[in-house]
Amino acid sequence: MKTVLFRSYIRGVAVALAVVTAACGGGTATDEGAAVQAAGATIQINGAGATFPYPIYSKWFDEYHKQHETIEINYQSIGSGGGIRQMSNETVFFGATDGPMTDEQLKAAPGPILHLPMVLGADVPVYNLPGVADLRFTGPLLADIFLGKVKKWNDPAIAAVNAGVTLPTTDITVVHRSDGSGTTYIWADYLAKVSPEWKDRVGVSTAVNWPEGVGGKGNEGVAGLVSQTPGSVGYVELIYAVQNKMAFGAVQNVNGEFVKATTESVTAAAAAVANNMPADFRVSITNAAGPGAYPVSSFTWLLLYEAPKDTARSKAMVDFVKWALTDGQQLSSQLGYAPLPAALVAQELTALERVKTQ
């Protein structure tokens, strides 16, 4: 009796081990560049990446599918870091990111990747000061606030740029992002340019070691915390501030103008840089010089392999990008994104020639 039971237990363990190892070993990623679809059949393209451009990408994919019934593009907004990772692992055909890939990441990828700016975004400093409208900030002032050096709203540094505004004596509560995000990247990038101390102490990344403040999850978390906490200041994407009717301040640009973020001022920031654009489009446009340019603006990029194996998908994707850069830009402003300046679009269409489509 005992030996029979013992033997059956051993058999049970062996079966369990076999089941577990089979489950582990069988999970290989499906090859995204699978056999080319027969002409006329639906082409499905998968992409993943940043959450910021998700609304406009969604709209574009939908509109494009209505015009080209055979092409279906799917996008998962898992975050810029995830998009870069999945691109490098070739589990998706295209990626999207708010912060450009670093040189190490590009080297680690299996092939050369093209960065294509698709729309513009901007971070705005939102604050909760009942009775105070239209605050103005300078870059170094924002850096000092987020570094924790300026602690009260009636600090002389704030009063100096806001003549005539009665500032309360409340403490400043800094609100930042708790999750890694392109929005943080843009903000940190700008602060690093206007404050050497920020650059040294904190640095630039999608997630940083914040010297001060509480963290909210997502743009909506920061917006929620700022609207609930009197005397708080935070940063959110322009679209969030506009749609939630939050008060946000004007920021001084390199030319000395105090500019409030609008689709025009953000496009002006890109136009200023369009003349000196590097060939790979990996440029930061924060603190851009130029009349009416909003200093905390940024591109969001689409990532495409220059020499993909699947040429049918590549051709479909390139056609889509051409459409998005031209006809698609009209849809951007409806959703609150700033459209790209024409000079830049021309440069990108030239760069698209590099992508292998057959």
Partner 1 sequence: MRRDLGFRVGTGLFGVLLILIVAAIGFELARQSMLSVQKFGLGFWTSSTWDPVAGEFGALPFIWGTLYSSVLALAIATPIAIGIAVFITELCPPWLRQPLVFLTELLAAIPSIVYGLWGIFVLVPAVRWFQTSLPDSLRALPIFTGPPLGVGMLAATLILAVMVVPFTSSVTREVLKSVPMAQREGAYALGATRFEAIAAALFYARTGIIGAVMLGFGRALGETMAVTMVIGNNPQVSASLFAPQYTMAAVLANEFTEAADQLYLHALTEIGLVLFIITLVVNGLSRLLIWSMASSSKPARVPAAALPAAAEA
Tokens of 300: 């969001």
Q: Within 13 Å and on the Cβ side, how many CA atoms surround 315?
A: 9
Least CB distance to partner 1 at residue 179 (A): 4
Contact pick of 106, 165, 214, 318 for partner 1 (by CB under 8 A): 214
**72 three-class SS:** strand
Partners of 175 in beta bridges: 214
Site membership for partner 1, residue 208 (CB under 8 A): yes
N-terminal to C-terminal alpha carbon distance within the chain: 70
Cβ proximity of 135 and 162 under 8 Å: yes
Span of 204-212, 244-252, 256-264, 309-317 interacting with partner 1 by CB under 8 A? 204-212
**319 three-class SS:** helix
Judged by beta carbon, residue 190 or residue 210, the one nearer partner 1 is 210
Tokens of 334: 């409806």
List of residues 6+ apart from 356 with CB closer than 8 A = 306, 307, 308, 311, 314
Judged by beta carbon, residue 78 or residue 242, the one nearer partner 1 is 78
Site membership for partner 1, residue 168 (CB under 8 A): no
Site membership for partner 1, residue 205 (CB under 8 A): yes
Burial of 3 (0-12, 13-18, 19+ CB in 10 A): exposed
Span of 157-165, 175-183, 325-333, 338-346 interacting with partner 1 by CB under 8 A? 175-183
Contact pick of 55, 140, 168, 224 for partner 1 (by CB under 8 A): 224
Contact pick of 2, 3, 4, 35 for partner 1 (by CB under 8 A): 4
Span of 28-36, 207-215, 322-330, 335-343 interacting with partner 1 by CB under 8 A? 207-215
Note the residues at the interface with partner 1 (CB under 8 A).
4-5, 8-9, 11-13, 15-17, 19-20, 24, 78-82, 84-85, 104-105, 171, 173, 178-181, 202-210, 213-217, 221, 224-225, 228-229
